[in-house]
Amino acid sequence: MKKINNNSLKIISKIPFRQYSGEYRIFHFTGFGNTPKNDRCGEIRKLLIPKTLGEASKIRDTLTSKDNVPKNAIKSATSLKNLTNTALLKSSSITTITSKTPNECAEKKLEKKSDKLKCLRPVSRIKLVDEPPDDCNVRKAEMPTVKLRDGYVMPMFGLGTWGAPIIKAEKAVKHALKVGYRMIDCAHVYENEEAVGKAINKSIEKCIVKREELFIISKLWNTFHEPHLVLSGCQQSLCDLKLSYLNLYIIHWPMGYRAGDDLIPYDACGRVIGSRVDYTETWKAMEELVERRLTRSIGLSNFNKNQIERIWKIAKIKPVVNQVECHPYLNQKRLKAYLKKKGIVLVAYSPLGAPARPWVRKDEPKVLDDNLIKTIAFNTGRTPAQVCIRYQIQRGNPVIPKSVTPSRIESNFDVASFELSDQEMKILDKLDRKLRFVPLSQLSNHPHYPFHDAF
């Protein structure tokens, strides 16, 4: 056995491989995120990698305590804790890596865990604030919308919450609702839905918004793909958000992981444990959520054309959206044309090129630093971010940029008062490089990995 070193936490594994082991498929996965370089961040790295189960149990409390973390590192630590791709750092089994061959690496024996939700109360018994007080005079926000194939109306603009630390997520959502945002994009795996739920309910109580004006999205995580777990996955999000229903519930990725309490389950060799669950079976369970009125609409995220075709053939209720990475460097032109024929709306996430993602490299191109985008921004008197957001809206794509900074939340929202010219739109179209910033390439051996196909 040898201790994990800094290189073990690098972004991309250079030697991916696959091994079959009983019921599950095993994938090599070393996690995301750059290795901290300064001394103070080094303290955080030591904190995040527990040596014992006892230490592991203290991580969550320690990360959110300002007294126990260096001030300059608080932002980094809380961000890492809440990102999907840092689940590796939370695992108590990553202290060491075996030098055995793949065949010798036995899958860790799993303790039997209860399928009970963290929130044991039924959704119907949770204190919900669906309507503001009677004396409220709620200001109605004006916003362009798109009609979904099932008849519901979706705002063209919303706030993304991926990577928003718990401490900042509540404040960000509160401020966004005050500004006029009416669509909030959430997910169980972001680990901040409770904070988002508090912000939504407090905003309703304070007469800022009515529940009927909100469009709340959440997503089914990969560990809930087994049909009998889909309901509990949705109920957990409803419980955390303190809502009686969702406007849209999405299958987050076509790739399933072994069911359990870990967001990303690992075997003894540090490899992600996938499941053989077919997403078509998951979809059938998603349809039951609509019948139970737990969500109004259902959709997909990160699915390619062939995967959508498979869903389409078996679906009683067709997907209304496919939420995918989309920005000037990855404009998804072919996928959008296909989705349009099917009557499926393309929802653009990471419209600014995900500049705050933890695995960003200094040498890679950055969307917001592109000279042509900067020129268009200068000519229109706008910011590069506003240009990228407006680009998606004019293409008919609802867009969900993420921010926790009040000034940027306001700036990103101010995109309705200007238009890009046809020539400017063509210039932005030609910037396409097929460059994907959220590839999850470590999981490229998964049988349902979506990005091997052209679109």
Catalytic residue among 190, 338, 391, 449: 190
Q: Is 342 exposed, middle or buried (0-12, 13-18, 19+ CB in 10 A)?
A: middle
Q: Nearest 5°: CA angle at 272, between 266 and 276? A: 115
Among candidates 204, 209, 223, which has minimal Cα distance to 181? 209
pLDDT on residue 280: 98
pLDDT on residue 104: 45
The model's pLDDT over 337-391, given as tens digits with 9 standing for 90+, comes to 999 999 999 999 999 999 888 888 888 899 999 999 999 999 999 999 999 999 9
pLDDT on residue 196: 98
Spatial contact of 168 and 138, defined as CB atoms under 8 Å apart: no
The model's pLDDT over 104-118, given as tens digits with 9 standing for 90+, comes to 444 443 333 434 455
Does residue 318 have a pLDDT over 70? yes
What's the distance, Cα to Cα, between the start and end of the chain in Å?
42
Question: Distances in Å between the alpha carbon of 185 and those of 156, 284, 309, 328, 421?
Answer: 12, 23, 25, 21, 29
Tell me the pLDDT of the chain averaged across its residues.
79
Q: Is 266 a catalytic residue?
A: no
Question: Distances in Å between the alpha carbon of 188 and those of 39, 205, 257, 272?
Answer: 33, 24, 14, 19
Among candidates 275, 327, 328, 325, which has minimal Cα distance to 302? 325
The model's pLDDT over 135-179, given as tens digits with 9 standing for 90+, comes to 666 666 678 999 999 999 999 999 999 999 998 999 999 999 999
Query: CA-CA distance, 98 to 169, in Å (whole number)?
Result: 38
pLDDT on residue 132: 60
Q: Which residue has tokens 């917001």?
A: 368
Domains of the chain: 2-104 (no CATH), 126-452 (3.20.20.100)
The model's pLDDT over 215-242, given as tens digits with 9 standing for 90+, comes to 999 999 999 999 999 999 999 999 999 9
